[in-house]
Amino acid sequence: MHLRRRRPGGTDASTHDGVIVLRTALFLSIVVLAGTSGELFMAHAMKQAARTETVTHAAVVGLLKQGFRPAAMWIGLALQALAFFALLALLSWADLSFVVPATALNYVVGAAGSALFLREQVDRTRWAGVLLVCIGVAVMCASEL
């Protein structure tokens, strides 16, 4: 197990591993929940801004100006900052190839949140895709924890 492999010597192994696993689960939850809800708030704010079809400098600046007006954007940014620092802490002790796939749990929260709060239509095909992504994450995590 990659998390256990990084344990420094001199302490009780099982207790230390338990603490590491709990800490990993806690920080992963923060990354997923704060990150996804932050994205939902930001997406909501950007939907309120005018849609741009051209990627010119003026169009992008205008879009950003409108996008940063709603409070939802600032709430989203605060949640994203929280998720970012939790991710940094997580990366200090766990493998990158473990942490990043594990954060795919946000597909469950993201799909549910976009259907519930953004009123986007999430059809069966998308749900099947999201489910497969979750199974993939579960397969990867099963051998780690």
Partner 1 sequence: MLALTIVLGAVGDLLLSTGMKQIGRVELGPAAAMGGVFVRIITNAEIWLGIATLLLLFGCSLVLLSRIDYSYAQPATAVGYALVALLAYSVLGEVVTVSRWTGIGCICVGVALVGRTPPRTTV
In the complex, the residues that contact partner 1 under the rule CB under 8 A are 2, 6, 39-40, 42-43, 46-47, 49, 51-53, 55, 60, 63-64, 67, 87-89, 91-93, 95-101, 104, 106-107, 110-111, 114-115, 118-123, 125-126, 128-143
Minimum distance from CB of 65 to partner 1 (Å)?
A: 11
Query: What is the signed CA dihedral for 54, 79, 134, 136, rounded to 10 degrees?
Result: 80
In the complex with partner 1, the residue whose CB is nearer, 82 or 101, is 101
Residues 6+ apart with CB under 8 A from 126: 111
Main-chain dihedrals φ then ψ at residue 48, nearest 5 degrees: -75, -25
Q: Rounded to the nearest whole angstrom, what is the least distance from the CB of residue 129 to partner 1 in the complex? A: 3
Contacts of 62 (CB under 8 A, 6+ apart): 50, 52
Q: Which is nearer to partner 1, 14 or 135 (CB)?
A: 135
Cβ 14 to partner 1, closest distance in Å? Answer: 18
Q: Work out how close the CB of 12 gets to partner 1 at its nearest, in angstroms, rounded to a whole number.
A: 17
Token couple for 47: 């939907």
With tokens 């069966």, the residue in question is: 124
Cβ-based nearer residue to partner 1, 75 or 129: 129
Whole-number Å distance between alpha carbons of 56 and 107? 31
**By C-beta, is 2 or 69 nearer to partner 1?**
2
Q: How far apart are CA 109 and CA 125, in angstroms?
A: 17
